[in-house]
Chain A
Amino acid sequence: MAEQTYTDQEFKVIGTRPRRPDGVDKVTGRARYGADAFAPGQLVARVLRSPHAHATIKKIDTSKAEKMKGVKAVITSADLPDLTEGNRGNFDILENCMARGRALYHGHAVAAVAAIDEPTARKALKAIKVEYKVLPHVTDVDAAMADDAPIVQPHVQQDGKPSNIANVSQFGHGDVDGGFAEADVVIEKSYKTEQTHQGYIEPHACLASVGPDGQGELWVTTQGHFTFRTVCAQLLGMDIAKLKVTSSEIGGGFGGKTHVWMEPLALALSRKANRPVKLVMGRDEVFMGSGPTCSTSMDVKIGAKKDGTITAAEATLRYQDGPYPGPWGMLGAMTSFACYDLPNVKTVAYDVLVNRPKVAAYRAPSAPMAAFGVESTMDLVAEAIGMDPVDFRIQNAAKEGTRASYGPTYGPIGIGPTLDAVKNHPHMQAKLGPNQGRGMACGFWFNFGGQTCTDLNIGTDGTVNLTVGTVDVGGARASMSLIAAEELGISYDKVKCNIGDTASLGHNDTTEGSRGTFSSGMATIFAARAAVDVLKQRAALMWEIDVDDIEWKDGAAHAQGVAHSNLAPLTLEEIAKKSPQTGGPIAGHNEVVADGAGVSFASHICDVEVDPETGSTRVLRYTVVQDAGKAIHPAYVEGQFQGAAAQGIGWALNEEYVYGEDGRLQNPSFLDYRIPVCSDLPFIDTEILEIPNPNHPYGIRGVGETSIVPPLAAISNAVSNAVGVRLDHIPMSPPRVLKAIKDGNGA
């Protein structure tokens, strides 16, 4: 563990902004994503989906489809292993990929076909006859908690009775009732947020090939090809080592590509047809049949003294998980008050099952909704005690030694510094016009590490192949190359970083939880250091001196001491050139559990203008301040901040899943699921703070997620300051804002 510790070293290339190594491929159209692979003899697969929100599947007749010319395989759950008696988690994953006896949401897959071309596959789907018995459904989280709600999963029980409440989680410390009694002001308010989707532009896509010998390959767009391999092999009864999974270039994931959705179906179709099978989701299928994040409902209560001290805080959170239990409410409960130093705090979260798609992780999963409730209430309390909202937050900000609301005590953290930066930012002083308002809010995310395995091989010309097993979701190859160059002391362009497939590296955890740069960065540092040890040994052989007399600096071996003062340094290139005669290839390898990722905080400022006659909100100016620990490639760190803020802005203003009375999703398209377009947004200013993570040699914390947390509340606070109405329902779509203005919701 000692080697994992932060050392305040001086950097030569870390912190510079070179072009990414995969850049030319991506600007010339050559880069290959999930749908860009083709195999000889490949079939096209399509999936038939349930038109009902909740139904018993009485019968599926595929006989007509199977007889059609050009149809090579048809599968239903009957063609997949029955995991009823096994691990419930695996059963749930497979049942979500293909309904078994019951459809649990509109869009739940019920059958799949593989045919020689797309028109044939479409026709075959039409020929499949499914007999449903429609059941009562529930899609709203509060309705699902009612006593008489239709039950989504009969095996899930509370107090011995079937219930849609899958889990109850509680966190906190102190005595909240006592704390509220001490407060001069107590504000309690309820909030709701609607369901949103990650909205990656690349739909799920894969090319599967399985032979009768049980060996297979899967080309897939994923955040975790090693995890996909394990899960697919387990679900289908394959040997893990016999399934090779290659991660294609990934066209966005944001958590949505951490789970399998239809890949096991492609493998099963290929196995049945004994031909390669390509399966690509349509955009409507992505919305209906992959995993969005939760819709929520919550009550938040905060009490403070007139001097600005918070005496107690409490939140009750109800998170909707889709039809399968997840950890989502729990994460909301853990993150909600993490920004603050609270003597008395309590959060209770309910994970609730409904007839909507299975929820997946979405960038800092569960944190943005809870932050919306908490940070809106923070502004209300500040207003009630007559304090500036930034000063109020500064006074109560968590710091080193604060006991976090989720339990442990913080080490060095960045919430205070981000708030100070906000307070001193020129944005805070800029003038506002009529119907304009400014808001700010804070956010927290944990960041993760995890299992990581990296290979570094040095060629005889001194160039370096770095192979990592975390996928490159947005410039990671550039960051990894910078780290390898830094450690070896060579220039950035001498390193070529590749993403290894599952046959070329040991297991790597999924690229989630902002872990990519933190953990693969750590493994790269250690792999490079291992290679440096080999380089020094080789130099020792070349010089015929003791390896202990050699120091590595600036990309060369330096012989130490007067005895060797006649020896000019041997560069990496020179040592590599002689490697065939000094023991063969030079490599460094590392496998590590990169735990101890540092927590990360962000504070955002935004200005909006609201049209009081239409309720339309425009974001005029936006500033992100976030702690990165250490920014390896600052341009891509800024990019993460900006992208996360943009997703938060979309969530705050217009994005939502709209369900009809019939339980059907009404807007599964980019036309009516409205993610921000270019003209909706201003430039998003960024300020990177670097408060080193003590558990990483470079101080890296991970940067990908935190900045999606504050925007919902920051914008809501800004809208409130612009037109004097407090929105308690996200998204703040024009009809909701106009209604609030008409109703005079000035609370």
Chain B
Amino acid sequence: MSGVQVSTTINGDVEEFVCHPGETLLDVLRNRLGLIGAKEGCGTGDCGACSVTVDGELVCSCLVLGAEVEGRKVTTVEGLADGNKLHPLQEQFLDNAALQCGICTPGFLVAAKALLDRNPDPTEEEIRYALAGNLCRCTGYDKIVRAVDAAAKDLRAEAKKAAKKKAAKKAKKA
């Protein structure tokens, strides 16, 4: 078995690694790069605990080979916060007690961010279906759905504020 050399971008940083041809991205992240945020709940794409995005597309990292991410951009839960500022989803998960054991939380956060990136104002039903690939056994999903809804509101308010600021700046320039 010969190793595959891979160069990729993870959470904005260039990473280079050598992996087995059949090794999953999940195993690479956890065992070779020390990024333990993605969890293996099943290894077969049924639980979503290993969710990451590759080139912006939400995937289960257990169903991606490490070798496949050559030249791609990977984002994991470790890349969610902006420096020491937590992402609104992270803030709302904490405020809404949306985690109990927390093992599914990284996957939910990554999946919820993927949802809000393309749909900033989802209905409850849209949230539930978008998160259907993430299993949680502790919460009954109630507080998770509420947290995502609250974070969506926060993000919309942030976006509105930013747009206003931009407009004001433009007006000032003019």
Residues of A within 8 A of B (CB): 17, 19-20, 22-24, 26-33, 35-36, 38, 118-119, 198-203, 249-254, 280, 282-283, 473-475, 633, 635-636, 638-640, 642-643, 645-647, 669-671, 675-679, 681, 683-684
Q: How far is the CB of A225 from chain B (nearest CB, A)?
A: 16
Collect the chain B residues with CB atoms within 8 Å of residue A202's CB. 39, 41, 101, 103
27 of the cross-chain contacts (CB-CB < 8 Å) are A23-B93, A24-B90, A27-B99, A27-B109, A28-B90, A29-B37, A29-B38, A31-B102, A33-B39, A35-B30, A35-B39, A200-B101, A200-B137, A201-B41, A201-B101, A201-B103, A201-B135, A249-B102, A252-B101, A475-B97, A639-B138, A642-B139, A643-B140, A669-B42, A670-B41, A678-B145, A684-B142
Collect the chain A residues with CB atoms within 8 Å of residue B5's CB. none
Give chain B interface residues in 95-143, CB to chain A under 8 Å.
95-97, 99-106, 109, 125, 127-129, 131-143
Cα–Cα distance between A645 and B36 once the two chains are bound (Å): 30
The answer to whether A251 and B102 touch (CB under 8 A), given A643-B137, A678-B141, A678-B144, is: yes
Which 9 residue pairs of A and B lie closest in terms of their CB atoms, listed nearest first? A29-B37, A251-B103, A646-B140, A474-B100, A26-B102, A635-B97, A642-B140, A670-B46, A29-B77
Out of A475, A681, A683, A684, which one reaches B100, CB within 8 Å? A475
Cα–Cα distance between A642 and B146 once the two chains are bound (Å): 13
Tell whether, in the assembled complex, residue B139 and residue A646 are in contact, meaning their CB atoms are under 8 Å apart.
Answer: yes
Query: Who on chain A is nearest to B38 by CB?
Result: A29
Collect the chain B residues with CB atoms within 8 Å of residue A683's CB. 142, 145-146
Collect the chain A residues with CB atoms within 8 Å of residue B40's CB. 35, 203, 280
Tell whether, in the assembled complex, residue A639 and residue B137 are in contact, meaning their CB atoms are under 8 Å apart.
Answer: no
Out of B1, B47, B106, which one reaches A670, CB within 8 Å? B47
Collect the chain A residues with CB atoms within 8 Å of residue B81's CB. 28
A201-B137, A283-B46, A669-B44 known; 5 new pairs, CB 8 Å cut-off, are: A20-B97, A201-B47, A636-B97, A676-B140, A678-B134
Query: Who on chain B is nearest to A205 by CB?
Result: B40
Cα–Cα distance between A622 and B30 once the two chains are bound (Å): 39
Q: Report which residue of B93, B106, B133, B141 has the largest number of chain A beta carbons within 10 angstroms of its beta carbon.
A: B141
Query: Who on chain A is nearest to B148 by CB?
Result: A678
Cα–Cα distance between A684 and B143 once the two chains are bound (Å): 9
Tell whether, in the assembled complex, residue B143 and residue A27 are in contact, meaning their CB atoms are under 8 Å apart.
Answer: no
Tell whether, in the assembled complex, residue A678 and residue B94 are in contact, meaning their CB atoms are under 8 Å apart.
Answer: no
Query: Who on chain A is nearest to B41 by CB?
Result: A201
Whether a CB of chain A sits under 8 angstroms from the CB of B78 is yes
Q: How far is the CB of B141 from chain A (nearest CB, A)?
A: 5
Collect the chain B residues with CB atoms within 8 Å of residue A639's CB. 97, 100, 138-139, 143
On chain B, the number of residues with a Cβ less than 8 Å from chain A's Cβ atoms is: 60
Collect the chain B residues with CB atoms within 8 Å of residue A676's CB. 140-141
1/0 per position for B19-33, CB-CB distance to A under 8 A? Answer: 010100001001100
Cα–Cα distance between A440 and B37 once the two chains are bound (Å): 40
Q: How far is the CB of B119 from chain A (nearest CB, A)?
A: 15
Interface of A is mostly: loop
Q: How far is the CB of A33 from chain B (nearest CB, A)?
A: 6
Out of A20, A30, A671, which one reaches B46, CB within 8 Å? A671
Tell whether, in the assembled complex, residue A283 and residue B109 are in contact, meaning their CB atoms are under 8 Å apart.
Answer: no
Cα–Cα distance between A669 and B146 once the two chains are bound (Å): 29
Out of A32, A198, A678, which one reaches B128, CB within 8 Å? A678
Tell whether, in the assembled complex, residue A33 and residue B103 are in contact, meaning their CB atoms are under 8 Å apart.
Answer: yes
Cα–Cα distance between A633 and B100 once the two chains are bound (Å): 12
Collect the chain B residues with CB atoms within 8 Å of residue A36's CB. 30, 36
Tell whether, in the assembled complex, residue A24 and residue B94 are in contact, meaning their CB atoms are under 8 Å apart.
Answer: yes
Collect the chain A residues with CB atoms within 8 Å of residue B44's CB. 283, 669-671
Collect the chain B residues with CB atoms within 8 Å of residue A28's CB. 37, 77-78, 80-81, 86, 90
Whether a CB of chain A sits under 8 angstroms from the CB of B53 is no
Residues of B within 8 A of A (CB): 1, 20, 22, 27, 30-31, 35-44, 46-47, 49, 76-78, 80-81, 86, 90, 93-97, 99-106, 109, 125, 127-129, 131-146
Collect the chain A residues with CB atoms within 8 Å of residue B95's CB. 19
The answer to whether A29 and B134 touch (CB under 8 A), given A202-B39, A473-B101, A671-B46, is: no
The answer to whether A30 and B43 touch (CB under 8 A), given A199-B137, A200-B101, is: no
Tell whether, in the assembled complex, residue B94 and residue A27 are in contact, meaning their CB atoms are under 8 Å apart.
Answer: yes
Query: Who on chain B is nearest to A280 by CB?
Result: B40
Collect the chain A residues with CB atoms within 8 Å of residue B35's CB. 29
Cα–Cα distance between A19 and B1 once the two chains are bound (Å): 48
Collect the chain A residues with CB atoms within 8 Å of residue B97's CB. 17, 20, 475, 633, 635-636, 638-639
Collect the chain A residues with CB atoms within 8 Å of residue B141's CB. 646, 676, 678, 681
Cα–Cα distance between A35 and B41 once the two chains are bound (Å): 10
Q: How far is the CB of B20 from chain A (nearest CB, A)?
A: 6
The answer to whether A474 and B46 touch (CB under 8 A), given A23-B94, A29-B106, A681-B141, is: no
Cα–Cα distance between A671 and B42 once the two chains are bound (Å): 10
The answer to whether A19 and B94 touch (CB under 8 A), given A35-B40, A202-B41, A202-B101, is: yes
Cα–Cα distance between A31 and B77 once the two chains are bound (Å): 12
Out of A27, A638, A677, which one reaches B90, CB within 8 Å? A27
Q: How far is the CB of B62 from chain A (nearest CB, A)?
A: 10
Collect the chain A residues with CB atoms within 8 Å of residue B129's CB. 678-679
Collect the chain B residues with CB atoms within 8 Å of residue A282's CB. 43
Q: Report which residue of A23, A642, A647 has the largest number of chain B beta carbons within 10 angstroms of its beta carbon.
A: A23
Q: How far is the CB of B85 from chain A (nearest CB, A)?
A: 12
Collect the chain B residues with CB atoms within 8 Å of residue A642's CB. 139-140, 142-143
Tell whether, in the assembled complex, residue A24 and residue B42 are in contact, meaning their CB atoms are under 8 Å apart.
Answer: no
Query: Who on chain B is nearest to A201 by CB?
Result: B41
The answer to whether A29 and B78 touch (CB under 8 A), given A201-B49, A202-B39, A202-B103, is: yes
Tell whether, in the assembled complex, residue B46 and residue A26 are in contact, meaning their CB atoms are under 8 Å apart.
Answer: no
Collect the chain A residues with CB atoms within 8 Å of residue B99's CB. 23, 26-27
Query: Who on chain A is nearest to B143 by CB?
Result: A639
Tell whether, in the assembled complex, residue A251 and residue B46 are in contact, meaning their CB atoms are under 8 Å apart.
Answer: no
Tell whether, in the assembled complex, residue B140 and residue A27 are in contact, meaning their CB atoms are under 8 Å apart.
Answer: no
Collect the chain B residues with CB atoms within 8 Å of residue A671's CB. 44, 46
Tell whether, in the assembled complex, residue A675 and residue B137 are in contact, meaning their CB atoms are under 8 Å apart.
Answer: yes
Collect the chain B residues with CB atoms within 8 Å of residue A251's CB. 39, 41, 101-104
Collect the chain B residues with CB atoms within 8 Å of residue A118's CB. 27
The answer to whether A635 and B90 touch (CB under 8 A), given A26-B105, A29-B35, A473-B101, is: no
The answer to whether A201 and B104 touch (CB under 8 A), given A282-B43, A677-B132, A681-B140, is: yes
Q: Report which residue of B47, B101, B125 has the largest number of chain A beta carbons within 10 angstroms of its beta carbon.
A: B101
Q: How far is the CB of A212 from chain B (nearest CB, A)?
A: 27
Query: Who on chain A is nearest to B40 by CB?
Result: A35
Cα–Cα distance between A202 and B36 once the two chains are bound (Å): 13
Query: Who on chain B is nearest to A250 by CB?
Result: B101
Cα–Cα distance between A198 and B138 once the two chains are bound (Å): 10
Tell whether, in the assembled complex, residue A29 and residue B76 are in contact, meaning their CB atoms are under 8 Å apart.
Answer: yes
Query: Who on chain B is nearest to A26 by CB?
Result: B102
Out of A30, A35, A201, A638, which one reaches B37, CB within 8 Å? A30
Q: How far is the CB of A580 from chain B (nearest CB, A)?
A: 34
Cα–Cα distance between A119 and B31 once the two chains are bound (Å): 14
Tell whether, in the assembled complex, residue B47 and residue A20 are in contact, meaning their CB atoms are under 8 Å apart.
Answer: no
Query: Who on chain B is nearest to A28 by CB?
Result: B81
Tell whether, in the assembled complex, residue A679 and residue B132 are in contact, meaning their CB atoms are under 8 Å apart.
Answer: yes
Cα–Cα distance between A24 and B80 once the two chains are bound (Å): 12
